Amino acid sequence: MDNEFMGSITDVAGLLAGHFTDPRRPTGCTVVLAPEGAVAGVDVRGAAPGTRETDLLSPANTVDRVHAVLLTGGSAFGLDAAGGVMRWLEARGIGVPVGPVRVPIVPAAVLFDLLVGDASVRPDAAAGHAACEAASAAAPAEGNVGAGAGATVGKIFGGAYAMKGGIGSASLSVAGVTVGAIVACNALGDVLDPDTGRLVAGARTEDGLRLRDSRRALLRGELPAALLAGTNTTIGIVATDAPLTKAQAQRLAAVSHDGLARSINPVHTPSDGDTMFALATGRAPRSPGMMLLCALAAEATALAVLRAVRAAESLTLDGLRLPAARDIAA
């Protein structure tokens, strides 16, 4: 399979995607809109998550459809951007009818990018609204945009040896259904090609010119740098046009973490808040079964991570140098 020609999450019928990238520093947010509503699930594996409206996605809870999912930079401050998404949806009459109003349901997750540039600049409600204004059915841009604008990878041995992360998307269509993913990769660990196991981006060697291979370095006894909890995090959305229940959507979100594990090492660490959402628009006439959908979800997620770092561009800001995958030899 040629990873370079995969599609994007907007290949899933019923979804739109848009970015806002802040011109003042590398940060931003990314929204996936489901104007007709989508069954949703979530699975949080990292130990330091920043999320909103995740409890209501439990199959035991009442609300069964969401209208958007937001991925954002800015750490917990960035959750403000979800308010702008709600305002955009409300203005178009989209939401759960509650008496005289419609309440849009907008789960969200954040990544930490506050050490890249001026930390006082982070996504807010205006940023979320702007991401909705930019949303379309076209394939979303990848790399240093939206929630991936300030993303970095390979920080396990210190930020001085890190590289530029980003946001990527991919999709696969089999048996009459499509599964797509979009992932903002801000991982503590390294990124690998899931097909070959080859390192693509991550912690660099002391001279900064090559990849260190964090897994092997740790096994040799090299100790990680002192790390602050929550200063990393990979967040994403996996989606399908197959009809699913809430319990099945939750399972799809859980299995998408297998894709993170195939493409990021180490993953789900105490310093990451790794969170994956799942959406099901139900536009396809039938489901081919959860076995196939789960396999596609893990694959699309892994490919989206790979594309995030392959699309990333190097960044130098305030003395911090973050080379991109294309600049460093494995």
Domain ranges of the chain: 3-327
What is the C-alpha separation between 136 and 288, in angstroms, rounded? 27
Q: 81-91 and 125-134 helices cross at what angle (nearest 10)?
A: 50
What is the C-alpha separation between 205 and 50, in angstroms, rounded? 31
> Residue 185 in contact with residue 160, Cβ under 8 Å?
no
* Helix (H) or strand (E) segment spanning residue 133: helix 125-134
CA pseudo-torsion sign 4, 196, 214, 207: negative
Class of domain 3-327: alpha beta
pLDDT score at 329: 60
What is the C-alpha separation between 232 and 253, in angstroms, rounded? 20
pLDDT score at 228: 72
pLDDT score at 157: 95
User: From the first residue on, what is the mean pLDDT of each consecutive set of 10 residues in the chain (330 residues)?
Assistant: 69 98 98 98 96 96 95 98 98 96 97 96 98 98 98 95 97 97 98 96 94 95 82 96 98 98 96 97 96 98 98 93 86
pLDDT score at 3: 40
pLDDT score at 229: 72
pLDDT score at 1: 43
State the CB neighbour count (10 A cutoff) for residue 242. Answer: 27
What is the C-alpha separation between 64 and 52, in angstroms, rounded? 16
* Helix (H) or strand (E) segment spanning residue 209: none
Closest CA to 258 of 301, 213, 293: 301
What is the C-alpha separation between 117 and 108, in angstroms, rounded? 23
